[in-house]
């Protein structure tokens, strides 16, 4: 991009969204939809269609029963349905702009029912929309920004989802086949190119024209590859950030044209890391995007969390948008009971913490078994007063990835730390761990669990009040903590001694007889 083009682009980006000639009534409808109660957004990655269980008979009823029908009666208000997009423009809806994935999957225990749906004159997105309209759910189309599950592709051994577009346009990729990058993947598409940016916008225009949607969700976390210069260790320039802001503006413009035509706006949600300085270094200037009102809601966290939920809530207040906490699966390795992250007690604690700190709602990601106990918290959120009175298990670090995965020294922007069995904390003397919690009333019992690598238990304090080690099993110690030491929202746990701490969990008990107490 030359200097003249960059200057003109920056000037155009200073124009507020109101310059798009919106009428007052349309904007009032947008604000009404933005502020609509939206407790839980359920994100479905679309594998219920492309990776349908091989031993399950195909029917529309069975398809919906996998992940959708069981949401009835839960606190889910909104379904965000992703039609895969893991090779930039490959979709399981009947696209004409992208590549319609109506071929079989090679996964041994699955089969694709996309051809079955096509033979019926429908597709997975159409059926999800139909279900949502019949059952009073909002429905969003979810698009993964630059998903690179295909990074293992080789010419002599093609990835089963390798796209024709990438095969035809290798010059639009981050690198050459097999090229290793420290902060990206060679199969990512390069958003320096207007071809890529225009193609990205066209996806949203097409899907809004074809389906009766309430809005769209752009998932920058899957994956946050924008420019090859960043993948190779650099940082995005102001001009590159302006390109992405312009692209987001074009998505807004196209959706607003269609929204005005139907008399109802399309909302735009984005899922991004929860530190905007970090995002800007990668190429997405969320401050500019929010100032220009190009999105209506922001979803925070994914592979990692960089700041507190109270910080995320404050960003929402600053820009007048709803903020949502994305509660994805943990992926922490080497855990043992009672430190297992993918447990309903832990998801309760995570949801309670976000909501108590001012985040507007919950975004459920990569949780695809809504009939199981680990999903109970989504049903329990129907009754918030009772929800905050349930037992919970707080674990300080839930996610295991580092911001360094997308940006050279990206961890410098993080206000949290990676601490778990793979990254133990070495204590010499005293170490204090901050713990976000989310309670509305004082608990009846507090139990602290510590997994250590030393001969003797640590001495521990909660907010300066000493706890008592009452039981040891292997390398795990159980402490009773005086309940008067507990703070409802934010706590500090101090460890005194010499050695390594592998994991920590705080059990907050309101009901001593509840069946979900930790067994230790």
- So what's the pLDDT on residue 21? 52
- So what's the pLDDT on residue 442? 96
Rg (the chain; Cα; Å): 24
Query: What is the average pLDDT across 138-165?
Result: 94
- So what's the pLDDT on residue 5? 44
Q: How far is CA 475 from the centre of its chain?
A: 33
Query: What is the average pLDDT across 72-79?
Result: 98
Query: What is the average pLDDT across 27-33?
Result: 96
Structure confidence at residue 85 as a pLDDT band (50, 70, 90):
confident
- So what's the pLDDT on residue 104? 86
Helices (H), 46-185: 47-50, 60-67, 114-119, 124-135, 164-168
Distance CA 420, CA 328 (A): 17
* Of residues 288, 207, 206, 277, the one with CA closest to residue 243: 288
242-291: pLDDT as tens digits? 999 999 999 999 999 999 999 999 999 999 999 999 999 999 999 999 99
Phi, psi of 108 (to 5 degrees): -65, -30
Distance CA 220, CA 154 (A): 26
Task: Confirm if 468 and 478 have CB atoms less than 8 A apart.
Answer: no
3-class SS of residue 246: helix
- So what's the pLDDT on residue 348? 98
Mean pLDDT of the chain: 94
> Hey, CA dihedral for 409, 412, 417, 423, is it positive or negative?
positive
| Contacts of 87 by beta carbon, 8 Å cutoff, 6+ apart | 99, 147, 149, 150, 161, 162, 163, 165, 166, 187
Domains in the chain, please, with CATH?
39-295 (3.20.20), 403-509 (2.60.120.1200)
How many percent of the chain have pLDDT more than 90? 92
- So what's the pLDDT on residue 455? 83
Distance CA 120, CA 117 (A): 5
Distance CA 38, CA 438 (A): 19
Structure confidence at residue 437 as a pLDDT band (50, 70, 90):
very high
Residue 406, pLDDT above cutoff 80: yes
- So what's the pLDDT on residue 7? 44
Distance CA 152, CA 100 (A): 21
Cα distances (angstroms) measured from residue 366 to each of 20, 46, 209, 237, 302: 36, 11, 28, 33, 10
- So what's the pLDDT on residue 23? 84
Return the biggest CA–CA distance within the chain. 71
- So what's the pLDDT on residue 400? 86
329-350: pLDDT as tens digits? 999 999 999 999 999 999 999 9
3-class SS of residue 291: helix
Residue 1, pLDDT above cutoff 80: no
- For residue 471, the cross-strand partners are 478
176-222: pLDDT as tens digits? 999 999 999 999 999 999 999 999 999 999 999 999 999 999 999 99
Query: What is the average pLDDT across 46-60?
Result: 96
| Element of type H or E holding 52 | strand 52-53
| Element of type H or E holding 140 | strand 138-144
Residue 6, pLDDT above cutoff 80: no
Task: Confirm if 352 and 392 have CB atoms less than 8 A apart.
Answer: yes
Residue 19, pLDDT above cutoff 80: no
Query: What is the average pLDDT across 392-400?
Result: 94
* Of residues 343, 345, 313, the one with CA closest to residue 329: 343
3-class SS of residue 495: strand
């Amino acid at each position: 991009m030359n200097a003249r083009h960059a200057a003109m682009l920056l000037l155009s980006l200073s124009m507020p969204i109101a310059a798009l000639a919106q009428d007052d009534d349309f904007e009032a409808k947008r604000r009404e939809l933005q502020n609509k109660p939206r407790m839980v957004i359920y994100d479905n990655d679309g594998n219920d269609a492309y990776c349908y269980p091989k031993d399950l008979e195909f029917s529309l009823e069975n398809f919906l029963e996998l992940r959708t029908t069981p949401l009835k009666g839960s606190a889910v208000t909104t379904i965000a349905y992703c039609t895969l997009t893991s090779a930039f423009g490959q979709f399981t809806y009947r696209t004409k702009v992208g590549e319609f994935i109506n071929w079989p999957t090679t996964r041994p225990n699955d089969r694709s029912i996309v051809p079955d749906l096509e033979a019926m004159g429908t597709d997975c997105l159409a059926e999800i929309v139909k279900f949502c309209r019949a059952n009073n759910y909002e429905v969003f189309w979810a698009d993964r920004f630059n998903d690179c599950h295909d990074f293992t592709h080789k010419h002599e051994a093609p990835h089963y989802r390798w796209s024709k577009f990438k095969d035809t346009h290798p010059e639009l990729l981050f690198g050459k086949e097999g090229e290793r990058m420290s902060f990206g993947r060679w199969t990512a598409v390069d958003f320096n190119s207007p071809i890529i940016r225009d193609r990205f916008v066209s996806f949203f225009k097409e899907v809004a024209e074809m389906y009766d949607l309430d809005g769209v969700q752009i998932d920058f976390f899957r994956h946050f590859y924008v420019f090859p210069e960043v993948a190779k260790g650099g940082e995005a320039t102001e001009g590159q950030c302006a390109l992405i802001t312009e692209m987001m503006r074009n998505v807004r413009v196209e959706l607003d044209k269609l929204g005005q035509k139907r008399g109802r706006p399309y909302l735009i949600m984005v899922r991004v890391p929860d530190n905007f300085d970090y995002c800007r270094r990668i190429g997405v200037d969320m401050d500019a995007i929010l100032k220009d009102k190009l999105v209506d809601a922001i979803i925070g966290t994914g592979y990692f969390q960089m700041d507190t939920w109270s910080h995320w809530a404050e960003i929402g207040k600053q820009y007048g948008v709803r903020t949502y906490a994305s509660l994805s699966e943990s992926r922490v390795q080497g855990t043992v009971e009672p430190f297992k992250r993918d447990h309903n007690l832990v998801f309760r604690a995570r949801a309670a913490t976000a909501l108590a700190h001012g985040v507007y709602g919950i975004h459920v990601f990569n949780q695809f078994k809504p009939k199981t106990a680990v999903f109970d918290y989504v049903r329990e959120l129907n009754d918030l007063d009772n929800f905050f009175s349930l037992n919970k298990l707080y674990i300080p670090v839930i996610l295991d990835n580092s911001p360094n995965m997308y940006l050279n020294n990206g961890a410098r922007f993080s206000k949290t730390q990676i601490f778990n069995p793979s990254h133990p904390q070495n204590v010499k003397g005293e170490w204090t761990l901050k713990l976000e919690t989310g309670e509305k009333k004082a608990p009846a019992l507090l139990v602290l669990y510590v997994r250590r690598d030393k001969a003797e238990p640590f001495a521990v304090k909660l907010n300066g009040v000493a706890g008592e080690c009452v039981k040891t099993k292997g390398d795990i110690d159980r402490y009773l903590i005086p309940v008067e030491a507990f703070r409802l929202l934010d706590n500090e746990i101090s460890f005194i001694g010499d050695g390594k701490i592998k994991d920590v969990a705080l059990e907050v008990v309101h009901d001593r007889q509840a069946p979900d107490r930790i067994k230790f």
